[in-house]
Amino acid sequence: MRESSLSGNQLKCIALAAMTLDHVVSVAFPDYPTDWWIILFHIVGRLAAPIFWFFIAEGYHYTRNRKKYALRLLLFALISHFAYNFAFGIPFIPFQTSVFNQTSVIWSLFWGVIALIITDSERFKQWQKTALVLGICALTFCSDWSCIAVMAILEIGTHRGDFKRQMRGMMIYVAMYAVIYALFIHPVYGVIQLFTALTIPLFGCYNGQRGTWKGMKYLFYVYYPLHLAICGLIRLELHGDIGVMIGG
């Protein structure tokens, strides 16, 4: 079992590959086409976000300094905002075009860590924690994967050790996102969001080990904005300065 299982680094590499495929296809073939092979590429792309959510919760558990961890994500979210919006032709100043998809998922990942800190804190009463988490949901509604990313991180982080509950909670929130996506953006692409369930067997193979290479997290911090910048150049070359998805 140990020999056939996946390390954290291997799962992150799967996420990076899936994310890159999804983003390149999005800028190359804009406006939510429904050709079967494009749909297939986007289905593969659904592997990325849940892996990021999972390892944000894992990173929160293992980090020695949660404040530094959160601040590093905040800085990364600010940098990634410009890279993400350039990639897909979304204005840098939010809410000029829509309330949807105004910044990258990293904004939600940062607030997911803050939600975990609040939930674990003894300074707040339960009603205060609930109110603060609802406030965080409002702050992250405009990002990629919206506040669903925050709630998924909370489910995974607060139920660590209970795999079935982690996955069940994650998929309940993903299903909510799929319904909203289908109603307000595109019905077919709403259904596609449900294929995040393909990550569940991958998580079942996770061996709890980071992997031998310690620089994986730094690779992600460089690779994420870099690949988005390249996607933006592809968008400009193929289509000119236009938005290629909701928010643009």
Structure tokens at 14: 């799967």
**Helices marked H in 121-162 — which ranges?**
126-140, 148-158
User: Is residue 146 exposed (0-12), middle (13-18) or buried (19+ Cβ within 10 Å)?
Assistant: buried
pTM of the prediction?
Answer: 0.95
Measured distance CA(243)–CA(248) in Å, rounded: 4
For position 217, what pLDDT does the model report? 79
Average pLDDT over residues 69-93: 97
Could you tell me if residue 208 is left (phi over 0), alpha (psi between -120 and 50 degrees) or otherwise beta?
Answer: left
4-29 pLDDT, tens digit each: 599 999 999 999 999 999 999 999 99
Question: How would DSSP label each residue in 70-85?
Answer: HHHHHHHHHHHHHHHH
Whether residue 210 is contained in a domain is answered as yes
Whether residue 3 is contained in a domain is answered as no
Give the gyration radius of the chain's Cα atoms: 17
- The single residue listed with the structure tokens 């959510």 is 53
Whether residue 183 is contained in a domain is answered as yes
DSSP designation for 159: T
For position 3, what pLDDT does the model report? 53
Average pLDDT over residues 182-186: 94
Question: Band of the pLDDT at 37, cuts 50, 70, 90?
Answer: very high
Whether residue 1 is contained in a domain is answered as no
DSSP designation for 196: G
In this structure, are residues 116 and 154 in contact, taking their beta carbons and an 8 Å threshold? yes
Whether residue 73 is contained in a domain is answered as yes
Percent of the chain surpassing pLDDT 70: 98
Whether residue 68 is contained in a domain is answered as yes
Measured in whole angstroms, the distance separating CA 199 from the mean position of its chain's CA atoms is: 13
Whether residue 247 is contained in a domain is answered as no
44-53 pLDDT, tens digit each: 999 999 999 9
Average pLDDT over residues 97-113: 96
The boundaries of the domain holding residue 106 are 8-239
Average pLDDT over residues 185-189: 96
* Number of domains present in the structure of the chain: 1
SS3 162: coil
Partners of 40 in the β-ladder: none
Measured distance CA(138)–CA(60) in Å, rounded: 22
Number of helices (H), then strands (E), in the chain? 11, 0
In this structure, are residues 140 and 149 in contact, taking their beta carbons and an 8 Å threshold? yes
Q: Between helices 48-62 and 163-184, what is the axis angle to 10°?
A: 140
Whether residue 228 is contained in a domain is answered as yes
For position 1, what pLDDT does the model report? 41
- Indicate if the alpha-carbon torsion angle 118, 94, 224, 194 is positive or negative: positive
